[in-house]
Amino acid sequence: MELRKNMRNSIFLILLASLVLSATRCKGGVTSTYRRRLGASVDMPLDSDVFRVPTGYNAPQQVHITQGDVNGNAVIVSWVTPDEPGSSVVLYGTSKHNLDKMETGKHTQYKYYNYTSGFIHHCTIRHLKFDTKYYYAVGIGQTVRKFWFKTPPEVGPDVPYTFGIIGDLGQTYDSNTTLSHYESNRKAETVLYVGDLSYADNYPDHDNNRWDSWARFVERSTAYQPWIWTAGNHELDFEPSLGEKEPFKPFKHRYLTPYRASDSTAPFWYSVKRASAHIIVLSSYSAYGKYTPQYRWLEEELPKVNRSETPWLIVLVHSPWYNSYNYHYMEGETMRVMFEPWFVQYKVDVVFAGHVHAYERSHRISDIAYNIVNKNCTPVPNEDAPVYITIGDGGNIEGLAANMTEPQPSYSAYREASFGHAIFEIKNRTHAHYTWHRNQDGEKVAGDEEWFTNRHWLPASN
Ligand SMILES: *[C@@H]1O[C@H](CO)[C@@H](O)[C@H](O)[C@H]1NC(C)=O
Ligand SMILES: *[C@@H]1O[C@H](CO)[C@@H](O)[C@H](O)[C@H]1NC(C)=O
Ligand SMILES: *[C@@H]1O[C@H](CO)[C@@H](O)[C@H](O)[C@H]1NC(C)=O
Ligand SMILES: *[C@@H]1O[C@H](CO)[C@@H](O)[C@H](O)[C@H]1NC(C)=O
Ligand SMILES: *[C@@H]1O[C@H](CO)[C@@H](O)[C@H](O)[C@H]1NC(C)=O
Ligand SMILES: [Fe+2]
């Protein structure tokens, strides 16, 4: 009797000890109990306010900007004119009433099946001063529209800067909620966009008019702050049955990236520095095996990252490497196998991915081994590894991914099937505050948050 009681006590103690141990080891994964209303996500009709065509003859529409060089002294301004090419000139200056500088860009046009695009203008303006508000105008000589943007501060280790992260946005009513929610954060200065933009390819013949409507929808943000573009699978538009055999055709014509500045040979993988961050953009849908251009570029890019100058190393890629949802399960695995050792070696801080229409944040882990029969997996806790964040929850027409693998794997710190966006707020070289913001749906429920400490500058404490 006494013996049995002792045994029971010691079993209890062992259980308790192992509970405490596992809790300290992986901080306990959380699957949020909050469940968003799972209604269908419906695309906003073409006559919605957000898609309104600006008035005036040949008025520029779909205005968007992105970083135009490595350090942030250049901006690529893009827009579309519908009726005739018009002017590719951008007038700009630091005073609202005196746009005393001028740059001339170029226009392009493409056909997709039986669709013909408008005149797509791209103009890179260079030699901008850091940390300065610029006003600019397009549509010179016809209908003039004016906007403004602010250049980033000079690259340096202690420059605070706030990024927004959005993925898989699409053009539903939920997309509009996500964008409005993001815009309500007055601090966020640049969007890191993790791929899948318009979802035009869900329409018959990939109706490219939905590429136009998407760009008009997001103009209220993209004309005023740079969005750093990552290509997703919905950018491929590869449709041999329509005679469309050139991958990324619409995306490539509409959204330029400053890839040459970082010695890349294709627009889908490149890097930029902004304030205290070095941002590497990768392409899940371009070859990345050994000896490929992307592989060789990344191999040369990582040693160039100078953590004394840019303490924060951020990677954007569309297909997640760690994902515990039953959607796109293990799709990122081949790329993880190719590149993960480098990410650990170079201590990447965080990898943002999209693709899965839900939210998930991982602990710092690496070298996961899968049992592909029963989906069990064994990741290795690794303080040199990045945190992986899936943020494909912008709100597109395909709806939420709500089916998760069970039990929640130990690498998964937090997961929730809700729409939202994230904010990565760099405070200084050692600290960054990360928050995930669920679209509220009328209910006040907490999202996810985490302090990032920089392992280059605070190696002991993390
Ligand atoms: C393109 O073809 C579709 C049918 O395949 C048709 O509905 C649409 O009107 C056509 N568009 C143009 C611009 O010809
Ligand atoms: C989209 O959101 C904006 C800003 O919140 C709002 O003014 C607009 O009416 C919304 N449009 C639709 C179609 O929901
Ligand atoms: C790294 O950046 C620091 C600070 O800007 C600079 O002093 C140093 O020379 C750079 N190192 C290399 C190898 O470029
Ligand atoms: C969730 O996904 C699993 C694996 O694909 C499938 O077997 C299961 O039926 C799905 N559950 C629901 C509710 O869709
Ligand atoms: C960096 O930011 C963190 C968080 O705001 C703060 O606690 C810390 O004191 C800052 N470090 C320096 C050197 O200012
Ligand atoms: Fe995707």
DSSP character string of 25-61 = HH---EE-------PPP-BPPTTSGGGPPPSSTT--E
Q: CA 460, CA 462: separation in Å to the nearest integer?
A: 6
Q: Is 206 a catalytic residue?
A: no
pLDDT tens digits in sequence order for the chain, 462 residues long:
344 444 444 444 444 333 333 333 344 588 887 776 666 789 999 999 999 999 999 999 999 999 999 999 999 999 999 999 999 999 999 999 999 999 999 999 999 999 999 999 999 999 999 999 999 999 999 999 999 999 999 999 999 999 999 999 999 999 999 999 999 998 999 999 999 999 999 999 999 999 999 999 999 999 999 999 999 999 999 999 999 999 999 999 999 999 999 999 999 999 999 999 999 999 999 999 999 999 999 999 999 999 999 999 999 999 999 999 999 999 999 999 999 999 999 999 999 999 999 999 999 999 999 988 877 899 999 999 999 999 999 999 998 999 999 999 999 999 999 999 999 999 999 999 999 999 876 666 678 999 999 999 987 544
Counting ligands in written order, the one closest to the CA of 354 is 6
Phi/psi of residue 183, each to 5°? -65, -25
Q: Looking at the DSSP assignment, which residues form a beta bridge with residue 426?
A: 161, 432
CB of residue 433 inside a 6 A radius of ligand 5: no
CB of residue 205 inside a 6 A radius of ligand 1: yes
Cα 403 to averaged position of ligand 4 atoms, centre (Å): 6
Q: For ligand 3, which residues put their CB under 6 angstroms from it?
A: 306, 308-309
Residue 245, SS3 per DSSP: coil
Cα 57 to averaged position of ligand 6 atoms, centre (Å): 36
* Ligand 5 atom closest to the CA of 451, numbered from 1: 4
* Ligand 4 atom closest to the CA of 403, numbered from 1: 1
Counting ligands in written order, the one closest to the CA of 47 is 2
Q: Which of the following is catalytic: 181, 278, 328, 421?
A: 328
Cα 453 to averaged position of ligand 5 atoms, centre (Å): 10
Cα 392 to averaged position of ligand 6 atoms, centre (Å): 8
Q: CA 430, CA 414: separation in Å to the nearest integer?
A: 23
CB of residue 403 inside a 6 A radius of ligand 4: yes
State which H helix or E strand residue 342 sits in. helix 333-345
Report the nearest-CA residue for atom 14 of ligand 4: 403
**pTM metric for this prediction:** 0.93
Counting ligands in written order, the one closest to the CA of 309 is 3
Buried b / exposed e along 117-156 (16+ C-beta atoms within 10 A): bbbbbbbbbeebebeeebbbbbbbebbebebebebbbebe
